[in-house]
């Protein structure tokens, strides 16, 4: 009797299910209600009875009963015997397992979320429920895969998982790109150390509505941008964790990189940096490249010292404990713009090495060199280590370019033609250019020493120590060599002058100028005291050469012999006066237009002339006046005072 009662109950339930179960979802709900209502109606028994009834109907014995969810007329209730037969026939079709029911339930739950036309994370309750369903689905798939007994169900679960991951990826991307669209989240334990909430450098969820002011001028690069608030980071981390657990870690990393790459690209664009090929750089005029370099240096500092470290920090927090997908996402997000900046530096390194480019290249080198130590923790993983190596390589190529520019300076001096003389024996433009160039270059002495000492990479990116009292460093030797090349060039140029005296004045002017520039800069330290002494000796020798070639014949004419050997005939004295007048007038007419640029040197040369000429001239005048020979006044055209006055007007070409 108990069995008959149970059979009748099962038959009644089947009738109700067939009548009301217009869909698979409704059928499952009805069966669950009955299983909860009566202990005799377990889900296994109900599903078995339902399967048997369906089998009987398909065999023609069901009296025209329709499929679940069909639109046929309601069948009559089967007799108890038929219900019993249906139960006993359940073996003809496998019963619905609990795993199948789980997959169906998850399908129903997840499909509701996947079909939403709004952000799931706009409602925190929906987000929590969705994540819970995702966790259940991931566990179910793993269990089915481990069992390996129901491939069809596993395929169905995998298909559901793929749809679920696609929606999670959309949510993930939206939360990164539009964090304000999500429901407010109070940060929990993840990513909250008490300091994040005080960092208001940039925009993002919880930090205002404006985008991060990347283009704002920055002088302190020791800052970090938080593009997302701790709450937003917690949200995307939870999504990333599920995607990685489900085997979609690479897709998650790609979605992250795509979302953040647009931010990085926009940030670099705001800095005024535009992509340029090496060919375009090489073909551009230097004035244009100077402008580009002036933008490149702060852009490089901003990207490699602020933007990329900030992206690394954000990536590490989003993919916390989800290696290696955080590393993959990070390098994919920043690599394009990083390589764009590196390629410009490489193009500058391989372009023309004209000397005027030195200072901008040094600025680039210093920016890259200073960033290297801080890049080690940023590019520490195997995926981004190559990018760190490329930055280091660029630094070395810029250093090689600096060396090449110094070599080109030597070539420029050698090629400077010796066709046109400096007017009045003044300072030659090549002397001014080279000395001012080297003097300015010494403003970057630390960097130049570092470059000249060797490969930066061999020292791990650390600056080379500079001994301020070491005139034998590579830079000092190089500059001394340049000075030697300059000296030889000037010596060649001095031979343009037909007048040896003017050649001596030319060398005097340029030598004195060189000494001045060396003494009032770090060139003096690099070249050393011995070099300065040698150069000073050369200047004295050129002064003596001038005195000899210009005034030697004058002082020789003025000589009257030894006082004790008898007096000079009056006629001879008059002849000497006449010759002196001729020489002196020629010298004054010519050399008053010559140039001695340095005022003290001009005074010293005049004084030397006066000391050599005036004693013998005064002596000759005195002797001629004591001579009884008539007509001497005709030959004394200049009093000693007149001669001194004219000497003091020599070399005023520059003053005039």
Within a domain: 544: yes
CA distance linking residue 173 with residue 386, whole number of Å: 27
The answer to whether residues 265 and 373 belong to one domain is yes
The answer to whether residues 385 and 485 belong to one domain is no
CA distance linking residue 620 with residue 615, whole number of Å: 9
CA distance linking residue 208 with residue 206, whole number of Å: 6
Q: CATH number of the domain at 443, please.
A: 1.20.1280.170
The answer to whether residues 365 and 341 belong to one domain is yes
Query: Phi and psi dihedrals of 652, rounded to 5?
Result: -100, 15
Residue 493, domain extent: 416-455+471-649
100 CB-contact burial (10 Å; exposed 0-12 / middle 13-18 / buried 19+): middle
Among candidates 485, 468, 578, which has minimal Cα distance to 528?
A: 468
Region 253-281 average pLDDT = 91
Q: Which of 130, 149, 177 is the last residue of a domain?
A: 177
Within a domain: 306: yes
Go through 394-430 and write b for each residue having 16 or more CB atoms within 10 A of its CB, e for each that does not: bbbbbbbbbebbbebbbebbeebeeeebbebbbbbeb
CA distance linking residue 187 with residue 293, whole number of Å: 43
SS3 303: helix
The answer to whether residues 496 and 358 belong to one domain is no
Q: What is the dihedral of CA 183, 189, 195, 201, to 10 degrees?
A: -30
Could you tell me the two tokens for 633? 């006044």
Within a domain: 235: no
CA distance linking residue 247 with residue 243, whole number of Å: 6
pLDDT score of 248 more than 80: yes
Tell me the per-residue pLDDT of 23-61, one tens digit each, with 9 for 90 and over.
555 566 566 555 555 555 555 555 556 656 555 554 444
CA distance linking residue 21 with residue 559, whole number of Å: 142
Tell me the per-residue pLDDT of 396-452, one tens digit each, with 9 for 90 and over.
999 999 999 988 999 999 998 877 788 899 999 999 999 999 999 998 999 999 998
Tell me the per-residue pLDDT of 474-496, one tens digit each, with 9 for 90 and over.
899 999 999 999 999 999 999 99
pLDDT score of 87 more than 70: no
Tell me the per-residue pLDDT of 577-614, one tens digit each, with 9 for 90 and over.
889 989 999 999 888 889 999 999 999 999 999 999 99
Query: Phi and psi dihedrals of 179, rounded to 5?
Result: -65, -20
In contact, 171 and 120? CB cutoff 8 Å: yes
Q: Which residues, 6+ apart, have CB-to-CB distance to 155 below 8 Å? A: none
Could you tell me the two tokens for 207? 């930090």
Q: Which residues, 6+ apart, have CB-to-CB distance to 472 below 8 Å? A: none
CA distance linking residue 230 with residue 210, whole number of Å: 18
The answer to whether residues 503 and 564 belong to one domain is yes
Tell me the per-residue pLDDT of 357-394, one tens digit each, with 9 for 90 and over.
999 999 999 999 999 999 999 999 999 999 999 999 99
pLDDT score of 69 more than 70: no
The helix or strand, by DSSP H or E, that contains position 494, with its residue range, turns out to be helix 474-494
Domain count for the chain: 3
How many helices and strands in the chain, by DSSP H and E?
24, 0
Cα distances (angstroms) measured from residue 236 to each of 187, 242, 253, 329, 333: 12, 10, 12, 13, 16
Could you tell me the two tokens for 36? 């909860």
Number of Cβ atoms within 10 Å of the Cβ of 72: 10
Among candidates 505, 514, 522, which has minimal Cα distance to 485?
A: 514
Could you tell me the two tokens for 432? 């001014």
Cis, bond preceding 324 (omega within 30 deg of 0): yes
Q: Residue 246 gets which letter from DSSP? A: T
The answer to whether residues 483 and 627 belong to one domain is yes
Within a domain: 184: no
Place of tokens 């008059």: 574
Q: Residue 122 gets which letter from DSSP? A: G
Q: Which residues, 6+ apart, have CB-to-CB distance to 365 below 8 Å? A: 395, 398, 399, 402, 447, 451
Could you tell me the two tokens for 269? 């664009």
* pLDDT range class, residue 324, cuts 50, 70, 90: very high
Within a domain: 231: no
The answer to whether residues 586 and 518 belong to one domain is yes
Angle formed by the axes of helices 151-177 and 230-245, to 10°? 160
The answer to whether residues 384 and 500 belong to one domain is no
The answer to whether residues 263 and 390 belong to one domain is yes
In contact, 514 and 467? CB cutoff 8 Å: no
pLDDT score of 623 more than 50: yes
Could you tell me the two tokens for 404? 């090449």
Q: Which of 128, 149, 177 is the last residue of a domain?
A: 177
Q: Which residues, 6+ apart, have CB-to-CB distance to 25 below 8 Å? A: 108
Q: Which of 177, 193, 212 is the last residue of a domain?
A: 177
Q: Which residues, 6+ apart, have CB-to-CB distance to 209 below 8 Å? A: 180, 203
Rg (CA), the chain: 48
The answer to whether residues 386 and 436 belong to one domain is no
The answer to whether residues 294 and 405 belong to one domain is yes
CA distance linking residue 369 with residue 382, whole number of Å: 22
Among candidates 313, 337, 319, 202, which has minimal Cα distance to 261?
A: 337
Within a domain: 309: yes
Cα distances (angstroms) measured from residue 401 to each of 212, 216, 364: 36, 31, 11
Q: How far is CA 37 from the centre of its chain?
A: 71
Mean pLDDT across the chain: 80
The answer to whether residues 369 and 437 belong to one domain is no
Alpha helices in 59-123 (DSSP H): 80-88, 98-114
As beta bridge partners, residue 652 has 595
What string of DSSP letters covers 323-343?
Answer: TTHHHHHHHHHHHHHHHHHHH
Q: Residue 455 gets which letter from DSSP? A: -
* pLDDT range class, residue 571, cuts 50, 70, 90: confident
Angle formed by the axes of helices 325-349 and 249-270, to 10°? 40
* pLDDT range class, residue 65, cuts 50, 70, 90: very low
Choice among 85-89, 318-322, 550-554 with the minimum mean pLDDT = 85-89
SS (H, E, C) 10-27: HHHHHHHHHHHCCCHHHH
pLDDT given at position 458: 41
CA distance linking residue 521 with residue 243, whole number of Å: 64
Query: Phi and psi dihedrals of 595, rounded to 5?
Result: -125, 130
pLDDT given at position 162: 94
Within a domain: 35: no
In contact, 30 and 21? CB cutoff 8 Å: yes
Dihedral sign from CA coordinates of 207, 213, 217, 223 = positive
Within a domain: 60: no
Residue bearing the bigger pLDDT, 273 or 326: 326
The helix or strand, by DSSP H or E, that contains position 469, with its residue range, turns out to be none
């Amino acid at each position: 009797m108990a069995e008959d009662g149970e059979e009748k109950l099962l038959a009644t339930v089947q009738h109700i299910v067939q009548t009301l179960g217009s869909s698979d979802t409704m059928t499952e709900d009805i069966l669950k209600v009955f299983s909860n209502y009566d202990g005799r109606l377990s889900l296994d028994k109900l599903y078995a009875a339902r399967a048997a009834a369906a089998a009987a109907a398909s065999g023609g014995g069901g009296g025209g009963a329709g499929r679940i969810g069909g639109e046929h007329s309601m069948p009559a209730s089967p007799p108890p015997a038929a219900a019993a037969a249906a139960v006993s026939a359940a073996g003809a079709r496998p019963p619905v397992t609990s795993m199948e029911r789980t997959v169906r339930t998850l399908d129903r739950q997840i499909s509701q979320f996947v079909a939403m036309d709004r952000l799931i994370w706009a409602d925190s309750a929906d987000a929590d429920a969705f994540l819970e369903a995702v966790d259940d689905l991931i566990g179910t798939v793993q269990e089915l895969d481990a069992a390996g007994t129901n491939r069809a169900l596993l395929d169905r679960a995998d298909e559901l998982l793929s749809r679920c991951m696609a929606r999670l990826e959309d949510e993930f991307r939206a939360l990164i790109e539009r964090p304000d669209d999500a429901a407010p989240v109070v940060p929990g334990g993840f990513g909250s150390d008490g300091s994040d909430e005080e960092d208001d450098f940039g925009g993002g969820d919880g930090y205002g509505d404006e985008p991060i002011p990347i283009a704002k001028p920055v002088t302190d690069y020791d800052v970090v941008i938080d593009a997302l608030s701790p709450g937003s980071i917690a949200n995307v981390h939870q999504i990333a964790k599920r995607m990685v657990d489900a085997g979609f870690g690479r897709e998650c990393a790609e979605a992250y990189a795509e979302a953040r790459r647009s931010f990085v690209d926009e940030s670099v664009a705001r800095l005024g940096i535009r992509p340029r090929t090496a060919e375009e750089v090489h073909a551009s005029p230097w004035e244009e490249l100077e402008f580009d370099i002036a933008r490149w240096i702060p852009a490089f500092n901003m990207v490699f010292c602020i933007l990329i470290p900030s992206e690394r920090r954000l990536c590490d927090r989003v993919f916390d404990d989800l290696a290696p997908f955080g590393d993959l996402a990070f390098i994919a997000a920043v690599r394009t713009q990083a390589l764009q900046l590196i390629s410009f530096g490489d193009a500058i390194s391989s372009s023309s090495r004209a000397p005027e480019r030195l200072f901008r290249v040094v600025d680039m080198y210093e920016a890259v060199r200073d960033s290297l130590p801080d890049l080690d923790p940023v590019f520490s993983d195997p995926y981004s280590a190559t990018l760190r190596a490329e930055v280091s390589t660029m630094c070395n190529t810029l250093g090689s370019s600096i060396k090449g520019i110094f070599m080109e300076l030597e070539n420029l001096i050698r090629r400077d033609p010796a066709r046109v003389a400096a007017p009045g024996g003044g300072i030659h433009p090549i002397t001014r250019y080279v000395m001012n160039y080297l003097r300015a270059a010494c403003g970057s002495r630390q960097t130049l020493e570092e470059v000249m000492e060797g490969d930066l990479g061999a020292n791990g990116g650390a600056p080379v120590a500079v001994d301020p009292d070491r005139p034998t460093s590579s830079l000092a030797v190089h500059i001394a060599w340049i000075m030697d090349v300059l000296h030889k060039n000037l010596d060649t140029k001095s031979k343009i002058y037909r007048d040896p005296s003017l050649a001596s004045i030319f060398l005097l002017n340029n030598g004195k100028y060189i000494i001045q520039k060396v003494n009032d800069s770090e060139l003096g330290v690099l070249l050393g005291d011995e070099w300065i002494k040698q150069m000073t000796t050369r200047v004295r020798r050129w002064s003596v050469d001038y005195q000899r070639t210009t005034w030697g014949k004058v002082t020789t004419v003025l000589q009257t012999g030894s006082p004790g050997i008898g007096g000079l005939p009056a006629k001879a004295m008059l002849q000497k006066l006449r010759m002196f007048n001729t020489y002196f007038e020629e010298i004054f007419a010519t050399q008053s237009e010559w140039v001695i640029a340095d005022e003290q040197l001009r005074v010293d040369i005049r004084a030397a002339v006066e000391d050599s000429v005036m004693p013998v001239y005064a002596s000759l005048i005195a002797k001629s006046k004591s001579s009884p020979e008539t007509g001497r006044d005709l030959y004394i055209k200049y009093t000693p005072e007149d001669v001194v006055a004219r000497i003091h007007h020599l070399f005023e070409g520059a003053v005039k």
